[in-house]
Amino acid sequence: MKASKFLMATALTAVTGFGASSASAADLTLCWAAWDPANALVELSKGFEAESGHNMSFEFVPWPNFADRMLNELNSNGTLCDLMIGDSQWIGGAAENGQYLKLNEFFDAEGITMDDFIPATVTGYSEWPKNTPNYWALPAFGDVVGWTYRKDWFERPELMAEFKETYGYDLGVPETLEQLQQIGAFFQGRDIDGTTVYGAAIYTERGSEGITMGAMNALYSYGFQYENPDKPYEVEGFVNSPEAVAGLEFYKLMYDTMAPPGSSNAYMGANIDAYKSGQVAMQMNFAFIWPGVEADPVTGGGNSGYFPNPAGPGGQQFAQLGGQGISVVANSSDTGAALEYIKWFAQPEVQARWWELGGYSALSAVVEDPGFATSQPYAQTFLDSMAIVKDFWAEPAYASLLLPTQRRFHDYVVAGQGTAQEALDGLVADWIEVFEDEGLR
C-alpha cells in the first residue's frame, strides 16, 4: 500500500477532545450485514469505545437474510438495534414509519453538514423525500457496482495479439459495453494454463435483489429511466422504452456469451468465488470486494485491475449505487449515546481511518485528498464509479417494486422466457399496480 500523509495520520488517535455526554456508559448494538466491511467497523469502533466509555456490540446478518431480518426488526418495533446501517432503499419506509430518528436538528447542533459528503451518497443514503434537505442517516459506506479483471491474463502477449487480430483494437480496459461483451466472449471457454475459463461473472440471483442490481448497469447506460422526469410515477414509455429494451437484451447477451456454467443464481459471494478461483477473466461486483481481491495471494499483487461500468451505445455511462447510511433507531433506549456514535463517526480523522481499514468513506475530505487516488489500486475506479451512480426506487413500497423486477428480469435473461419487450411491458404493469395501491397515481 502506498502511504500518503492523510492515511499515515490516521494511525494516530482519531479524535481529540471527544468525550461522552451521557451521564453513564451505555451498551450500544449496531446492526449491519455480515461482510468484510463489518469486520473493519468493529476494529474502527474500538476508538469510540475508548474515547466515549460506551460499549459496542454488533449484530451482523448475512446478506441473503439481512433485509428480512432487519426489516422485521424495524417493523416489529424491536429493541435489538440502537444503530442501523440499513440499505439505501429502506430510507423511505423507515422515515415515513418513524423507525429512524430524523437527524436535521442534531446535525445543525453539532455542525455536521451534508455538504461535506459525496452528493450522490447524501441523496442515496440520507434523504427522504429524495432531493430535499430531510436527513435520516449519515452516509456510512459508499459502494457501487464496478468491474474487476485479470490484468495478468489481459497482458499476455499471445492473447493480446490474438485479440487485436480478431477485434481490431487492443485488449485492455473496455470503454464501452460492446467492448466489454467482446472481451468476455473472447475469454469464454478459453484454456488458461490448462484450465478452461470463462468471460465474466455477472449478477443473476433471483431471490433477493441480485439480477436487478446487475441488469440495471446495462439498462441505465442504454437509456432506461424509472419515470417521466416531468411527471413522477409515470413509467409507460420510459421503463419499457426502446432503449430500455435494448439494454435488457444486451444483459441477456452478456449472460449467454460471457457467464460461466452454473451461474444462473449468482450474486456477490458466487462472483467473488468464481473470480478468486480463476474461473473467470472478469467479474461484476460491488466495490466492497476490492480490498479482498488485493489481499488474495492469486488475484492480488498487481494481478487484478479495476474499471467502472462502461458506456452504452449512445455514450451514456451509469452504474448501480450500493452502500448504506447509518441511522439511529427510534426505538432505541440509548438514542443519546447512539447520536454520540454518529458524531464520532462523522469526523474526518475517523473517516480517513475507516478508508484505511477497508471501509469506503463518503466524506469529501477523504476522497478528495491528493493522496486518495493512489492510496489503493482501486481508489481511482471508486471515484470514477461514484461519479456515475443511479439507484433503484427508495419508495416505502420498494420491496413491492423489487419483487416483480427480479421475476421479470430472471425469467427473460436466465430462463429465456419471452422477449425483453414483454418483460418490460409486464414490469410497467406491475409497477403501476403498486403505485395505485400506494395512492401515488
In this structure, is residue 402 part of a structural domain?
no
Q: What is the CATH number of the domain that holds 283?
A: 3.40.190.10
Q: Which residue matches cell numbers 409486464?
A: 426
Q: Are 218 and 312 in a shared domain?
A: yes
Residues with Cβ within 8 Å of residue 390, at least 6 apart in sequence: 216, 220, 318, 319, 320, 321
pTM of the model: 0.93
Print the domain residue range for 312: 145-320
Domain termination site, one of 303, 320, 337: 320
Model confidence at 15: pLDDT above 60: no
108 in any annotated domain? yes
pLDDT at 59 over 90: yes
**Pair (356, 299) in one structural domain:** no
Cell 460499549, located at residue: 55
* 332 belongs to a structural domain: yes
pLDDT band (50, 70, 90) for residue 4: very low
Q: Are residues 13 and 107 in the same domain?
A: yes
Same domain, 114 and 256: no
Q: Evaluate whether residue 428 is within a structural domain.
A: no
Q: Clarify whether residues 115 and 209 are in a common domain.
A: no
423 assigned to some structural domain: no
Q: How many residues does the chain have?
A: 441
- Position 230: which residue type? D
Specify whether 243 is located in the same domain as 136.
no
- What does the pLDDT look like over 120-161, one tens digit per residue? 999 999 999 999 999 999 999 999 999 999 999 999 999 999
In contact, 235 and 404? CB cutoff 8 Å: no
Q: Which three cell numbers stand for residue 189?
A: 471457454
- Measured N-to-C along each axis, helices 36-52 and 348-357 cross at an angle, to the nearest 10 degrees, of 140
Question: Is 430 among the domain residues?
Answer: no
Number of C-beta neighbours around residue 232 at 10 A: 12
| Number of domains, the chain | 2
Q: Is residue 212 part of a domain?
A: yes
Interatomic CA distance for residues 380 and 360, integer angstroms: 12
**What is the DSSP code string of 256-295?**
HHHPPTT-TT--HHHHHHHHHTT-EEEEEEEGGGHHHHHH
Strand-pairing partners, residue 58, are: 30
Give pLDDT tens digits for 186-217.
Answer: 999 999 999 999 999 999 999 999 999 999 99
- CA dihedral (240, 426, 319, 324) positive or negative: positive
Q: How far is CA 124 from CA 96, 269, 276, 325, 405, in A?
A: 16, 24, 30, 8, 20
Angstrom distance (rounded) from CA 417 to CA 261:
19
60 with 106, same domain? yes
Cα angle vertex 161, ends 158, 164, to 5°? 145
Among the listed residues 170, 168, 203, 167, the one whose alpha carbon sits nearest the alpha carbon of residue 185: 167
pLDDT at 409: 99
